[in-house]
Amino acid sequence: MNLDFSEDQKQLKEQARRLFADKSPPSAVRAVLEGKDSYDRALWKNMAELGFLGTAIPEEFGGHGIGHLELCVIAEELGRSLAPVPMSSSIYLAAEFLVRAGSDAQKRKYLPKLASGELIGTFAHAERAGTVTPRSIEASVARGALTGTKLPVPDGGIADFAVVSARTGAGDEIGLFLVDLAGPGVRREAVRTIDPTREQASIRFDNAPAEPLGAPGEGWRILTDVMNRAAVLVAFEQIGGADRALEMARDYALERFAFGRQIGSFQGLKHMMADMYVSATLARSNCYWAAWALSTDAGELPEAAATARVSATQAFQLCAKNNIQVHGGMGFTWEYDCHLYYRRSNLLALSLGSLSTWEDKLIDALRRKNAA
């Protein structure tokens, strides 16, 4: 088993790093944070032109069909730069739902426009705080009309359409549906979060036209599969952010002097940064395993995805928090970029479900594996 990336994939990583360094500097992230726009439209266009959005979308549907390993390396660099774009909701989730469950007509309608950046998609799943289960979902579809409220919906205010989970009327059976968010019966309201660079919304559906996605009775299985796949990509964003936060802490500790010495020579800071390094390195090894499972459709994807998600969440939160501590009083100021990483680490910790949700998923996956 090879858990490293190829030379071509590493070159793609460098290309992505150059793009984000040039087109998504901290000033661009701050522009979105301060409300000048809901996402970085110029960067989104650049990513589409370079083919990043169509990396894992099949060529016959307007993508490049390169693969998910390549998407992983792009995700890592995106996380490193805190790029304020709807990559997770539109590509990791909406596009993946269509690739894995859409009809030929649905794929031809949506996927080329997702790959070109012309359309933005999202996944409307949660309705309240806590783990989402079939029984916790109250949104329902009857005679092709969707009623219910989803909260929070990532990029829900800027998305053109959503994949929505809803009851179909057959007990706890959950189906998936495509909904035009500019269509009738849809009302959207912005939701304030700790990280405004990743827009969130509450969406109310009142008899909104809904088109079935996937085979009847397969909704929850498809949903679980796509969530596992998206979790790997979000985990790569998290290790990218964790690595950058660690670098920021290291650089500051080397340049800042106190009592005539570099503060990096103080034992307390050495131990703190050693913990950051160990956590980030452990998360990276778990993410590499998950990337292999994702790219090969391995049967161990559920436990690999959950392991990557748990370790990457812990690493990013630890590194973002300790980066502020290493910077001391300066770390708490608006002018320094530490808070940008702290914001993103906490937002991503709740994306696709909380840390405890993924810990439970990991336990369940290991139990099933041991019982087999």
- Per-residue model confidence (pLDDT) at position 371: 81
What is the value of pTM for the model shown? 0.96
Domain holding 26: CATH number?
1.10.540.10
Asked, for residue 1, whether it belongs to a domain, the answer is no
- The CA-to-CA distance between both ends of the chain, in Å, stands at 23
Same structural domain for residues 251 and 198?
no
pLDDT tens figures, 271-288 = 999 999 999 999 999 999
Q: Which domain, by its residues, includes 69?
A: 7-115
Q: What is the per-residue pLDDT across 58-86, written as a single tens digit (0 to 9) for each?
A: 999 999 999 999 999 999 999 999 999 99
Q: What is the pLDDT of residues 289-337, one digit of tens each?
A: 999 999 999 999 999 999 999 999 999 999 999 999 999 989 999 999 9
Q: Using 70 as the pLDDT threshold, list the residues of the chain that sit under it.
A: 1-2, 170, 264-265
**Residues 178 and 245 both lie in one domain:** no
Are 191 and 333 contained in the same domain? no
The answer to the question of residue 181 being in a domain is yes
My answer on whether 231 and 362 are in the same domain is yes
Residues 162 and 278 in one domain: no
Q: Show the DSSP H helices in the chain as ranges.
A: 7-23, 26-33, 41-49, 68-81, 87, 96-101, 104-115, 219-255, 267-296, 301-327, 338-350, 355-371
Domain check: are 238 and 360 in the same one? yes
Number of folded domains in the chain? 3
Q: Are residues 367 and 224 in the same domain?
A: yes
